[in-house]
Each structure stands twice: as structure tokens, then as C-alpha cells.
Amino acid sequence: MTRRWPFMGWIVAETAIIVALSLAILHELQANPLTSAWLTGRVPALVYFLNFWALAGLSAILTITLGTFVAIKGRVRDQSVVQSSRIARTRSLKGSLIRKLFVNFGRRKGLTGSRETASLESGSSMKPARNVSQVDPYGWLGFGLLAAGVLTLFASIFLTIAVAFDALGLSFIVLGFTALSLPRQLTGSKSMGALLQGAILDVETMLEPFSAGRAVYLPPEKSARVAAYVPLTEEGNIPDVEEMRHASTRIVDPRQKAVLVYPVGAELATLPELNDGLSLDAALNLVLVESAELCSRVEVEVDQGMVVVAMENVKVDTRPPSYLRSFGSIPASLAACVIAVSSQTPVWVIDETGVGSKNIARFGRET
Amino acid sequence: MERENLFLLSLSFLMFSSVVALSAIGVVNLGVYVALLSLSYFGNSFVLRPRRRGFDFVGLGLLILFVTLTIRQVL
């Protein structure tokens, strides 16, 4: 931090010196005809630029460029703190209970479970998700376009004198400033991530002493909230939906079999858009991309009892281990809530896999 | 593709194609160029809605430029 200020100060001083020298030469040219004649004979191109308007433009451009540079440098320093955090962590979410749960639902629906079991097995190959670069993707592009625009505009005004070149220079400048105004991080709202992390801490504290199994997200009924049935032991069968709805919302006995909790996306059911017949694809995009900004893009595949959601550039890390084991990562948990609201059926996370920049979460649901 | 990348790509395509097309048909009025550049910018922003670091000063600048040139032509 302290090292940066002499550097910035030197750049500011350089800018001031350039402007002052230019003004001095202009004054000399106007005051001394000999200098003007000498310059015209030897450096004729310079004479085009040595007038009041050119110098005013040059000063303005230097000042704007310098201001933008200083502002961006300051932000880059802030960003370096964030770069140490892990991004898009991949988790294996398979467990013996979810296998039982999945097969149990399949059996209740008269399925042999072969297809579902096979898909569970195929989810075992876990690849690490690629870390997404947080370096400013548009900074140099913006400065390059600005420089090209200024040069084109100057060349057009003083040399070619063509309106089309003026417009071309303007286009470069507009594009340059547009590139500089775009966000450094293409996805990921840090504030939203922090809020969601905080919201799951209560559930994490409650589940920590138990080896809780995979949660089943129940669609909203009278309470208009999505609830999640969490088995506290890995033994026993999963009850039917009505029984799950009536599970206790508190843990009063250490031997209790299950608990009903409200996940982070419990209140999503109150969103009018989700109840107005919005497609699952659009609903997931609305929640995960538009509103929460947890990823840059969502793709959905629905196949009978399974929903596959591919989330691109996920930038929120789910740290609490018990929550992660039971509910899945935060984006997957939110996606499960949306699927439960949209399909009005119980939903559970089968697994999550990192493939390139995508996190692919598979959800089982009762058909 | 990221929405911001798409915005920048489509904006550059629209702007440069506008400049080339207008110069090809011999337009020498800078106001027309600026009007089309502004239209490209605002249309693209409206359709793609890219996120920005802060206030849309580029849009404001284009609007001021467009209004100034138009007023000069009218008066």
C-alpha cells in the first residue's frame, strides 16, 4: 500500500509535466516566430498538434486515463485478497443413505431401480472444478481501445480530415470506456455468498453432532416454505411425504431419527415468478444467475426422475461440512428448492461433479 | 458465453458495421454516425443488460453528445 503512492505520485507528476511543457512550447511558438519557422521546417507534424484545442484535448485525455488507471489499480489491490480463497470446490456427495433413498423412491414407484442405481455409480468419477480467473478481463482491452480511439481521432482531425475516421475513433473510445466499465468478476456476488454462508450456520450447528444423511427437499404446502427432511442416522427407511412433513423441527432426543429444517432457499416458494408457471430452466436462471449471481449460466436437463443442472462459473464456496453432506453446496441447495417448488415433488441431491468451469449437480425427484 | 463478453462483442460488431455502412453510402454528417452509435449502445444494453462496475457514464456521454449534435443541427 505504501509503496504504491510514490509510483502513483510520479505518474501524476509526469502528466502535469507533459501538460506544462506542451503549454510552454505553445506559448513560445506564439511569442517567437523564429521558433515557429524552425519547427515548421524540421517537424511539420508537430505544428498540427500545437494549438490550444489539441492541448486541451490532450490534457483531458491524460487526466481521464490517469484517473481510470488509479481507480483500477486500487481495485486490483483489493481483488488480490479475494484470490486466496478457493473457488468452485468440487464435492462428492454420494452416500449410502442417498443410495437407499433413491432406490426406495424408485421401488415405491414400481421401478426396479436399475437406471437410477447406474446413474449413481457413474457419478463417482470426480474431477476438480477449474478455478475461474478473477483478473480483470477487460482492463488492458479497454486501455488499448481507448489509445486506438484517441490516435484515430487525432489522425482524423489533423491529418485525414474525414468524418468516417472521426466516427471510427469515437467507436473505439466508446468501446474502450465500455470495456473499462464492465465488472472485473464476471460472476459471483461476494456479499450474497457471505449472507448465504451465514444463513446455513444454524443448521450446521444443529447437525454437527450427528452423521446426518442426505436431505429430502419437500415442496411447499400450507407453510408456503420449502422444508428439508434430514435423517439423523444412516439406518432405517425413508418415510412417505406426509410423515416427513410431520417430523420434528427440533432435536430433543439424541436418538431421534430425523429432523425437519428450513434450508437457505426455503422462502423461494414465495417468489411470484416461481408460482406463475415459469419453466424450470427460467426459474433456475432467475434465482441462481439473475438474483443471487452465484453462477454465470445454468443449463437444465430433465429426464423422468432425474434433473441435471449444470452451473457455470460457480463462485461460492460451501464450507460447513455437515450442511454440504446433507444439503449439497449452496447453489445446489438453492437449485433443489427451486426444483421442489417448480415440480411440487420431493427432491434430493444425488451428487455434484466439477467438469471444467461447470459444476454439474444431479437431483433425484419423485415422479 | 458470458453476458458481458457477448455485450462487448455485439457492440463492437454493431458499431464498426454502422461506421463502415454509413461511410460506404457517403454520409458526411457526424451527427448521423453518433446517432447510430448511440442507438447500437442503448439497444445492446437494453437487450443484454450487462452488469457494470458503477454508473453508466458511457451511456450518459453518448446521450449528451447525441443531444448536443442534434440541437446544433436543429438550430
A208, pLDDT greater than 60: yes
Q: What is the mean pLDDT of residues A301-320?
A: 83
Q: Is A200 helix (H, G, I), strand (E, B) or coil?
A: coil
Q: Range with the lowest mean pLDDT among A68-82, A175-189, A266-280?
A: A68-82
Q: What pLDDT score was predicted for residue A32?
A: 81
Considering only residues B43 and B50, tell me which one the structure prediction assigns the higher pLDDT.
B43
Comparing CA positions, the residue from A356, A308, A358, A306 lying closest to residue A102 is: A306
Q: Determine whether the interchain pair B58/A177 forms a contact, defined as Cβ–Cβ distance below 8 Å.
A: yes
Q: Determine whether the interchain pair A182/B8 forms a contact, defined as Cβ–Cβ distance below 8 Å.
A: yes
Comparing CA positions, the residue from A347, A223, A221, A326 lying closest to residue A284 is: A347
Q: What is the mean pLDDT of residues A189-213?
A: 82
Percent of chain A with pLDDT over 70: 71
Chain A contact set for B27 (CB, 8 A): 163
- Residue of B11, B23, B50 lying closest to A164 (CB–CB): B23
- Per-residue pLDDT tens over the stretch A284-294: 888 888 778 78
- Residue of B19, B51, B62 lying closest to A167 (CB–CB): B19
Q: What pLDDT score was predicted for residue B30?
A: 84
- Residue of A163, A171, A313 lying closest to B37 (CB–CB): A171
| Residue in B closest to A293 by C-alpha | B51
Q: Is A161 helix (H, G, I), strand (E, B) or coil?
A: coil
Of A14-23, A156-165, A190-199, B57-66, the range with the highest mean pLDDT is B57-66
Chain A nearest-CA distance from B71, in A, is 19
| Calpha distance A202→A205 (Å, rounded) | 5
Interface of A with B in 302-331 (CB under 8 A): 313
**Helix H or strand E encompassing A353:** strand A347-355
Considering only residues B38 and A12, tell me which one the structure prediction assigns the higher pLDDT.
B38
pTM of the full predicted structure? 0.52
Phi, psi of A56 (to 5 degrees): -65, -45
Q: What pLDDT score was predicted for residue A125?
A: 36
Sign of CA dihedral A37, A39, A40, A41: positive
Q: What pLDDT score was predicted for residue A61?
A: 73
Cβ-Cβ pairs closer than 8 A, A with B, add up to 77
B7 touches chain A (CB under 8 A): yes
Q: What pLDDT score was predicted for residue B20?
A: 87
Residue type, A72: I
- Per-residue pLDDT tens over the stretch A99-135: 444 445 444 444 333 333 333 333 333 333 333 444 5
B54, pLDDT greater than 60: yes
| CB contact at 8 A, A215 and A324 | no
Q: Determine whether the interchain pair B53/A179 forms a contact, defined as Cβ–Cβ distance below 8 Å.
A: no
A138 touches chain B (CB under 8 A): yes
Q: Which of A76, A138, A146, A163 to mutate to test the interface with B (most CBs of B within 10 A)?
A: A163
According to DSSP, residue A158 is labeled: I
Alpha-carbon separation of residue B31 from A160, A176, B60 (angstroms):
19, 21, 16
Considering only residues A177 and A76, tell me which one the structure prediction assigns the higher pLDDT.
A177
| Residue in A closest to B62 by C-alpha | A174
Alpha-carbon separation of residue A140 from A147, A170, A176, B22 (angstroms):
10, 18, 9, 29
Q: What pLDDT score was predicted for residue B39?
A: 92
Q: What pLDDT score was predicted for residue A43?
A: 67
Q: What is the mean pLDDT of residues A52-56?
A: 69
| H helical segments located in B1-75 | 3-24, 30-48, 57-74
**Helix H or strand E encompassing B56:** none
A68 touches chain B (CB under 8 A): no
A168 touches chain B (CB under 8 A): yes
B15, pLDDT greater than 50: yes
Q: What pLDDT score was predicted for residue A310?
A: 92
Interface of B with A in 27-56 (CB under 8 A): 27-30, 33-34, 37, 41, 50-54, 56
Q: Residue A291, Cβ neighbours under 10 Å: how many? A: 15
Residues paired with residue A349 on neighbouring β-strands, in sequence order = A363
Q: Determine whether the interchain pair B54/A182 forms a contact, defined as Cβ–Cβ distance below 8 Å.
A: no
Q: What pLDDT score was predicted for residue A109?
A: 43
Considering only residues A312 and A113, tell me which one the structure prediction assigns the higher pLDDT.
A312
Q: What pLDDT score was predicted for residue A48?
A: 66
According to DSSP, residue A266 is labeled: G
Q: What is the mean pLDDT of residues A323-344?
A: 88
A175 touches chain B (CB under 8 A): yes
Chain A nearest-CA distance from B36, in A, is 10
Q: Determine whether the interchain pair B4/A171 forms a contact, defined as Cβ–Cβ distance below 8 Å.
A: no
Chain A contact set for B18 (CB, 8 A): 171
Chain A nearest-CA distance from B13, in A, is 10
| Calpha distance A167→B18 (Å, rounded) | 10
- Per-residue pLDDT tens over the stretch A136-161: 667 778 888 888 888 888 877 777 67
Q: What pLDDT score was predicted for residue A82?
A: 39
Q: What pLDDT score was predicted for residue A84?
A: 39
Q: What is the mean pLDDT of residues A37-42?
A: 76
- Residue of A138, A178, A187 lying closest to B58 (CB–CB): A178
Q: What is the mean pLDDT of residues A13-17?
A: 76
A187 touches chain B (CB under 8 A): yes
Chain B nearest-CA distance from A137, in A, is 10
Q: What pLDDT score was predicted for residue A223?
A: 62
C-alpha triplet A131, A135, A136: angle, nearest 5°:
140
> What's the mean per-residue pLDDT of chain A?
74
